[in-house]
Amino acid sequence: MRTFFLIATLAVALGHAPAPRAGGLDAHLDAFPGEPARAPGTPQTYSLDYGLHVRDVSGVVQSRTQVRGEYTRKLEGDRFRWNAVTIAGGGEGVLSDPAPLAIMEGFEYGLSEEIVDESLYECFPGNDLRDLAKTMVWDGMMLELVDMTLDAVGPMPLNEFVPVETFEGFEVAMCDWGKLEMRDLRLKWSGVSMMHGEPCGVALYQSFANPVDAEPTRGRSCYWGQFWVSLEDREIECLTLNEDVVLETPVVGGPASLLNIQREVRFEKIR
């Protein structure tokens, strides 16, 4: 289910940051993410590693999909583009060899309402490819929404979850998939680490009770993850997302069908 809107709530939860103390680890532990100068708005490319598992309620894998590709952001005109996308599939055993997904090569769009408009995905044949494109686009938007909030974020208490009450009960429309209601979103600044040779602030997010309504299918989505923000240039170095969805579909003349969808997503800056 679509979770990228949760990152935008950082701007609501946090305020303006004081200047950090000088010297050693303490220089990075006063506030997240601090106030270093932003890097120039040049294009940046991230690798995507996306695993999708469909299981029954006992955990048996029914299908697996592995997608890899490159996502470029900060293009001229606030555009975003996908390249070098491959897809592999299978069941419980070994996946097929990765095959190029030619229709995603050079797929470009802007940060606007078009990303939740069905017309953007009309070029993708078949429901499976359209659904895959939607998840890739919407997951990529998480990076953009993190980036938008960095000028507004300020001090968070270290190692304490902060509830984001503003978005409690907020409904996220998901094209023709239905809607998800956000509940009990929490954020936590967990500390400082290193990524790509740069000190980074690491923030966690989680939300474990989100109703999904895709009539007649209903269920719930749980999601959690973390992101690394460079304390030197304020750029996003890495972002992860884990999601677990349970859906129930009525079956005429029989018990409801239950489905468990698990997703693992990782964006990591490569240039």
- The tens digit of pLDDT for each residue in 110-132 reads 988 788 888 899 999 888 889 89
Domains of the chain, residue spans? 4-269
pLDDT in tens, 153-185: 456 788 988 887 777 887 777 777 778 888 888
HSE-CB at 99 with a 13 A cutoff on CA atoms is: 9
Q: What is the pTM of this model?
A: 0.83
3 state DSSP class of 121? helix
Pick the more confident residue, 256 or 7: 256
Q: What is the largest CA-CA distance in the chain?
A: 69
Contact 139, 5 (CB under 8 A): no
Amino acid type, 226: Q
The terminus-to-terminus CA distance of the chain in angstroms comes to: 29
Residue 252: count of CB within 10 angstroms of its CB? 4
